[in-house]
Structure formats: structure tokens, C-alpha cells
Structure 1
Amino acid sequence: MTNEQVISLWNGRPAGTPESLEPYVVERSKDLFRADRALMGIADPSLTVLLPENPNGTSIIVAPGGSYRRVVLDKEGIEIAKALAPEGVTTFLLAYRLPGEGHEAGPDVTLADGQRAVRLVRAHAAEWGLDPDKIGILGFSAAGHLAASVATAYDREAYEPIDDADSLSARPDFNVLVYPVVTMEDPFVHTGSREALLGEMPTPEQEALYSPEKHVTAETPQTFMVLADNDPSVPAQNAVNFYLALHEAGVPAEMHIFSDGRHGFGIKGAADQGMPVAGWPALLADWLHYNHLVVEETE
């Protein structure tokens, strides 16, 4: 797997982004052999292209979590890209704007960046040898809310078009949520993510508008979810209620709930502790193959 290029979503600093905002990275790991970086101050949102050795045409935009206060680069970005590379999946690591960093668009910056990411990958699919009808989005934790929002509000006008790519659909062809934040409503909301997105005193109307489980339709893309039953941070009902909304709308969905894993299990951290949840990327790969979301090799 190689890093080929970094693509600016908006060709530089987007309108409404504070001029004083500058990116910085905090290394949080206490293990010299395992990085755990968090990115903040995102003034120029981007996609980093991570190419597998043998791309098969399927791509996934990966949005790492971080309570909408940071973007966790390694365990919720690089690790899943490496896990999917043997399947031939091209990964685009999304560095999205954080709503609490003074952007004029406020809570819509995350949806705008997610929509724009899907449109850019679709617009340039031929350049990377990708199938424009096999583009997924994967969100961890708070970015599960971002991914679920793009999956349910892909046609909401979150920004003013800037080029031809914005004439394309922002609908992902599939959606993957890992220990996701989904709802913005009590009693199952992750309060830290809600405060970062909507502030300390959101109205009931704001909470409803930004709760993706309330906006599922028959056109919402098929979804794969994985989480831990003992997650102490994000209640399992976030994923369960999103699944129920998908089921009610007739949207195919698959959900795996492991008894142990807590929150933020990633891949390597769970494997180091011998947790069965560490095998979730294989389940995702099986789901992609079974649903014909990857191109199968023929003899």
C-alpha cells in the first residue's frame, strides 16, 4: 500500500474558515512502537489516497473519529486502510473540518466535507481505475455520525457548488459504521460529540435535523455496522436504532455486536488484547464480497 497523493477538497482554505486556523498533530501514544496521532486545526480538508498493490475498483472514504474535536489518524485511519489493501480496496483517508473550530458554516462543515469527498472520488474515479458505482464511506465513532449523515442527507444542500464535481451525486454506494455516534437526541446521545457539533444548548429542531436515524429512506445505501456491547462511551442504541430505521425502510443492513471491545477498539489494539472483535475487518471484507461491492477475480 502506498500514499500516492493528498487532494484538497476545496482547493485550499474553504470560505468561512478562520484565517488563524492552522493544522497541528498531537502524538498521544505511550508506546514507542505504535503511533496514535490526532489531527486538529484542519483549515484545508483533504483526502489522502492509499492505493493497494492490486486495486479492484472499489473505494472507501474513511473518516476517523475523535468526538468532533480531533481526527484520529492511525488506529481509525491507517490501520483499516492496511487491513483492506489485500482485498484490493482503495482507501481515501478524510481529514474533515471540526465544527467547533470557528467555521462560519458551523455543524454543516462535516456534512459538506463528506459530500464533497464522495463527489470528488466519483468525479476522478477513472483516473484511479475506480468504479464510480462502488464508492463507500466508513466512519468511526463521531465520524460514524458524519458517515451516517452523508448516507441519509447526501442530497441536502450543505454548501455552494464550486466546480463540475458538485453536479454529481454525493450518495455513497455503501456505508460502514464502527462503534458509531448516530443520534443527537437524549437519552442515547454522546454528549461530547453533540456539544462539539451543535453547541451546549441545541434546540430540539437542531437535534432532530442532525440525527441521521430520523432521515433514513429506501434510498439510503446498504450498511454494515460493528460495535461492542460494553461500550462505555457511545450507547449501543445509536447503532441499533439506525439499524431498525434501515430495516423499516427496507434497506439491507448487517450489524455485528461483540460482547467485549469497549470503545475505540480499532484493529491492532483489540488484537493485542486477544479480543474477537479484532476480526471485524474480515467480516467487512466478506460483506463486501457477498454484496458484489468488490470486483471478483475470474480465471
Structure 2
Amino acid sequence: MITTRRGALGLAAAAATPLSARAMTPVSQIAPPDPSETIRLWPGAAPGGERVTVTPQVTERSTDPAFHDRFARYTTDPILTVMRPERPNGASLLLIPGGGYRWAVVDKEGLDCARVFAAAGITCFVLRYRLPGDGWAAGPDVSLQDAQRALRIVRARAVADGLDPARVAVLGASAGGHLAGMLTARTDQTYAAVDAVDAVSMRPDLSILLYPVATMSDPFVHAGSRREMLGETPSAEAIVRYSLERMDWSGRPPVMLVHAMDDASVPVENSLSLLSALKAAGVKSEAHLFEEGGHGFGIRLIAGRPAAVWPELVLRWGGRHGWLQA
């Protein structure tokens, strides 16, 4: 990577002022407003919805006016919520929150994380995706349809948005980490092309997996994610097909893994097995394992603890791989 003087100064400034500190400094006791810009993924109805009868819901779990904690269920019209930085540096980030494939969280691993990375100049796109249990024809591939389409939209819009189409990263958390991992590893298009956007590459340039659901195999599987995606009694073939560590990673872009050793929901062995597969495939990879942090820490729940440095680690790693090159 060739780093200009301006780029070096930018990275130095970012290192001097931690991302989490800049983005998490309290300025109000009221939760910040949602970004107003959204993008529909599909020009018409999402594909394969002939048997879908669910009604979309967004539920608020927080009783504290200082922050939101929402999750979206039964999504039928998937969207990207766009968070634009004051000083964009040309990099884009597609964020895929978790939710065990039962729902997709909106804030903790979506908008909360987007605010942190937008503070570093990165244009963020938070994905609200469809779910496998809602009757879509694509079954376990329905969420991947949305992720593939979303990555293509971000890249297709990049030049018009003043962004670099060669600097589009993905960050997925928990089950969203599984989805981001599939987006990174799989090269098969999971839906029929609908317009010119689908001629654009769906390959991310970097992939960040935050406490990812990786394996669908016992004993380290997150049982809820497997059940929502593959049903109560998945076949051995389905378990292999949807386990990240069993996929063909040859030639895939660099991957960063972040996990807490005391994660009781998605055991750290998920990241360890995937790291071994990445190494065997020759994929440039980096892993950060924290002694404590549990599961689903995102940004807000890890403040003041060692794992709070994970956004800075992502920024530095992205800088080394050209994502933040000025």
C-alpha cells in the first residue's frame, strides 16, 4: 500500500483520538436521531415472496431515552440506512447486524457501530435484511440474496457518491457475521439479475467478522441461528454447506476476526475454526481474542473494557490493507 502524507497524518490523528472515545462522548441524554437516507434494495418486490404473509415489525427494547435498542422482524422490503460522515475519506462499510437469523438488530451492531466508523470518515450502510423463517422461496439463502444485492448497490453508487468502488468493506456481527462470511466466501449469485446493478462485483474488499456464528456443526454451533436458518433437523449436507469453516476460501479478500474468550452464546471456537480455514486457504487474516466481553458487546456494552479498542484495531488493519488510503 502506498500511503500519502495526508493519509499518514489522518491515520496518526485517528490513532491519537480513539474512534470509540470520539463517537461515544455523551453530548445528550436523548438518543441521536436516525439518519434520514435509506435505499430500497430491490426495484420492485423482493424475489421469491409469493408465499410470504408476514407483517414487518420493529420493536424497541430500551426504556432509557439516551439510547435505542431496536430489532426488526418479518422484513419484506429490505433497506440500507446510510450514515454519511462530515468528511468522507472515500471508504465504504456495509454493516450487517446480528439477531440469530430470528431478527436483525437495528442499533447495537448497526447504527451504533455506524456512528463510530462515520466519525473516522467512513460512509456506512446498515443492512436490514429478510430472514429464512418467513417463507421466502430462497430459504436459507434469502438473507444472502439481500447481502449480495446490498454490496452491489454500495459499489454501484460509489463514484456518484464520491466514494471509491475498490474500498468497500463489510462488517458483520454474530449471525450477521455468518452472513458477512457467506458474502465473502461464496461466489455463486443467489438470485436472478434484476437490473444493471447486478453486473457489479458483489465481492467485498475487506471483511470484518465480530464474534461471528461460523460453524453449523455441534458442539460449538449457535443452535438458535442453525434452527432459524436450516430447521430443527438439518441434513449433514446442509450443515456442511452453511458452515463457514467448510467453505472454499481460496482467493478471497482479507478477513479480520474479533471475539471474546468468555462468549457463552457463540463460543470462540467459531472464530478459531474459521481462522484455521482461512490460514489453510492462504487468506490474509488477523484475529483479536479478548479475555472478557461476552457476546453481543457491539459498542455501547463494552465501553471502558479492554475489548472497546476493537474499532481502532479495525481502523489500523484497514489502513494497512488500503481501505483508508487517502
**Structure-2-length-normalised TM-score:** 0.87
Instruction: Say which is worse superposed, 8-17 or 63-72, in terms of deviation.
Output: 8-17
Instruction: Say which is worse superposed, 241-250 or 4-13, in terms of deviation.
Output: 4-13
Name the residue aligned to 1:229. 261
Kindly indicate whether structure 1 or structure 2 has the higher relative contact order, using CA contacts under 8 Å at least 6 residues apart.
2
Q: Please say if 1:3 is aligned against 2:35.
A: yes
Shift in Å at residue 262 of structure 1? Answer: 0.4
Name the residue aligned to 2:227. 195
Q: Please say if 1:62 is aligned against 2:95.
A: yes
Contact 1:107 1:197 in 2 (8 A): yes
Q: Please say if 1:256 is aligned against 2:288.
A: yes
Question: Of residues 217, 225, 244 in structure 2, which corresponds to 1:185?
Answer: 217
Name the residue aligned to 2:272. 240
Matched-pair identity in %: 45
Q: What CA distance in whole angstroms lies between the structure 2 residues aligned with 1:283 and 1:251?
A: 19
Q: In structure 1, what residue type is equivalent to 2:133?
A: G
Contact 1:100 1:106 in 2 (8 A): yes
Q: In structure 1, what residue type is equivalent to 2:42?
A: W
Shift in Å at residue 16 of structure 1? Answer: 2.1
Secondary structure class of the residue paired with 1:87: coil
Secondary structure class of the residue paired with 1:247: helix
Name the residue aligned to 2:309. 279
Secondary structure class of the residue paired with 2:159: helix
Q: In structure 2, what residue type is equivalent to 1:188?
A: F
Q: Please say if 1:75 is aligned against 2:102.
A: no
Contact 1:184 1:211 in 2 (8 A): yes
Secondary structure class of the residue paired with 2:124: strand
Shift in Å at residue 247 of structure 1? Answer: 1.0
Shift in Å at residue 215 of structure 1? Answer: 1.5
Q: In structure 2, what residue type is equivalent to 1:262?
A: G
Shift in Å at residue 13 of structure 1? Answer: 2.6
Describe the shift of the 1:233–1:196 C-alpha distance in structure 2 as closer, same or farther (beyond 3 A). same
Name the residue aligned to 1:39. 72
Name the residue aligned to 1:173. 205
Q: Please say if 1:138 is aligned against 2:171.
A: yes
Name the residue aligned to 1:208. 240
Name the residue aligned to 1:85. 118
Shift in Å at residue 2 of structure 1? Answer: 8.0
CA deviations 1:162-214 (Å, max 9, x no partner) are: 11111122111010101110111122110100000011111000111111221
**What is the number of equivalent residue pairs in this alignment?**
293
CA deviations 1:71-94 (Å, max 9, x no partner) are: 111111111111111221110000
Q: What CA distance in whole angstroms lies between the structure 2 residues aligned with 1:31 and 1:259?
A: 29
Q: Please say if 1:124 is aligned against 2:162.
A: no
Contact 1:48 1:93 in 2 (8 A): yes
Shift in Å at residue 96 of structure 1? Answer: 0.6
Contact 2:52 2:136 in 1 (8 A): no
Secondary structure class of the residue paired with 1:107: helix
Contact 1:267 1:279 in 2 (8 A): no
Q: In structure 2, what residue type is equivalent to 1:135?
A: V
Gaps of 5+ in 1: none
Q: What CA distance in whole angstroms lies between the structure 1 residues aligned with 2:63 and 2:260?
A: 24
Q: Stretches of 4+ moved more than 3 A in 1?
A: none
Q: Please say if 1:95 is aligned against 2:125.
A: no
Gaps of 5+ in 2: 1-32
Question: Of residues 158, 161, 182 in structure 1, which corresponds to 2:190?
Answer: 158
Q: In structure 2, what residue type is equivalent to 1:291?
A: H
Instruction: Say which is worse superposed, 57-66 or 243-252, in terms of deviation.
Output: 243-252
Shift in Å at residue 237 of structure 1? Answer: 1.0
Secondary structure class of the residue paired with 2:88: coil
Secondary structure class of the residue paired with 1:119: helix
